Amino acid sequence: MANKKLTLQIDFRSGLPIYTQIVNQVQAQVASGILKPDDQLPTVRALAEELRVNFNTVARAYRILDEARIISTQQGRGTFITEVPPPKVTERLRRESLEALTQRFVSEALRLGFSKGEIRQMVSDQLKAWSEASKSEE
Amino acid sequence: MANKKLTLQIDFRSGLPIYTQIVNQVQAQVASGILKPDDQLPTVRALAEELRVNFNTVARAYRILDEARIISTQQGRGTFITEVPPPKVTERLRRESLEALTQRFVSEALRLGFSKGEIRQMVSDQLKAWSEASKSEE
DNA sequence: GCCATAATTGTACTAATTGTATCATTGTCA
DNA sequence: TGACAATGATACAATTAGTACAATTATGGC
């Protein structure tokens, strides 16, 4: 499930920079569901070879996608599609997504023996810390 | 008493190196009392097979834990939890574990676009749901 | 019981894979 | 021509995998 082909069409004469074309097409494939969370993208070198471009060009595209939180690049490991932000369309999906995430967190915390009070307090603290720390964020 | 299962959850796309995840989780389980002194951890090869990673990755994690005096690795014998650190250290580890766990959860939820209020509410709901599911819990 | 030998377990070193950082080259356009 | 953006070349760093080895324990013949 984590391996897919990733078909990209690069037009070398289009005037659009190659890295921009890569960014756009990956973005589009994520949006359309062709690429799904956890899918592993080709390595910068593999994709570069396939597209006949320098791997730094692919790396540049990956960096932009990484900064946009669309993919997660990990040195020595590879690059992966991150979870897509839940579409606003269905409130239900959105809720279930948060529910699943929260359930994983809560059950793990409880398993490690933390009390509900501790958990609630820590969540509160972290949320507060985020408010104060986010001058540059979002 | 010296043999236990050691349940670890490795997230291959989390961005955290595998060896770091192993270190964190073992540390958390020691701090929380799930793992006790003299408990034997799985061999590097056994744990590696279970997690589907190379045994050197596990060995690396064990070495870090060994240097932190949390476990004792003995060539030809196995690896064991050492004496519990003094309460002050345990308390710090415990707190750090929860903090790290919570931080990952909160940042992920915020990244997915959920509001602080939604997150707080969902945590509260889940904690409550847990109480009702198992009445014995605090 | 004792010793040789195999099996088990961690260690050390090296290689392979992957992304990162920095600077050089090229090409376009004002 | 000069500036700047895009791409390429090279060296590097982080993570994981491969291979050989050393220490300990288990086993089996005598």
What is the Cα–Cα distance from A134 to A136, expressed in whole angstroms?
A: 5
How confident is the model over A74-97, as pLDDT tens digits? 999 999 999 776 666 677 888 888
Q: How far apart are CA A28 and CA A26, in angstroms?
A: 5
Q: CB distance B99–A130 less than 8 Å?
A: no
As a whole number of angstroms, the distance between CA A18 and CA A61 comes to 8
| CB B115 within 7 Å, strand C | no
Residues 6+ apart with CB under 8 A from A108: B9, B101
Tell me: the pLDDT tens digits for A26-85?
A: 999 999 999 999 899 999 999 999 999 999 999 999 999 999 999 999 999 999 999 776
Closest CA to B62 of B79, B40, B85: B79
Protein-to-nucleotide distance from the CA of B23 to the C1' of C8, whole angstroms:
24
Using CB atoms, pick whichever of A83, A105, A124 lies closest to residue B105.
Answer: A105
Residue with tokens 């899918």: A39
Out of B9, B17, B127, the one facing A106 most closely (by C-beta) is B127
Specify the 3-state DSSP secondary structure of A33: coil
φ/ψ of residue B119, rounded to 5: -65, -50
The structural domains of chain B, ordered by start, are 18-81 (1.10.10.10), 87-133 (no CATH)
Q: Which of residues 43-102 of B touch strand D (CB under 7 A)?
A: 53-54, 56-57, 60, 74-77
Q: What is the DSSP letter of B113?
A: T
Q: Tens digit of pLDDT per residue, chain B (138 long)?
A: 445 578 999 988 888 999 999 999 999 999 888 999 999 999 999 999 999 999 999 999 999 999 999 999 999 999 999 977 778 878 888 999 999 999 999 988 988 889 999 999 999 999 998 876 655 444
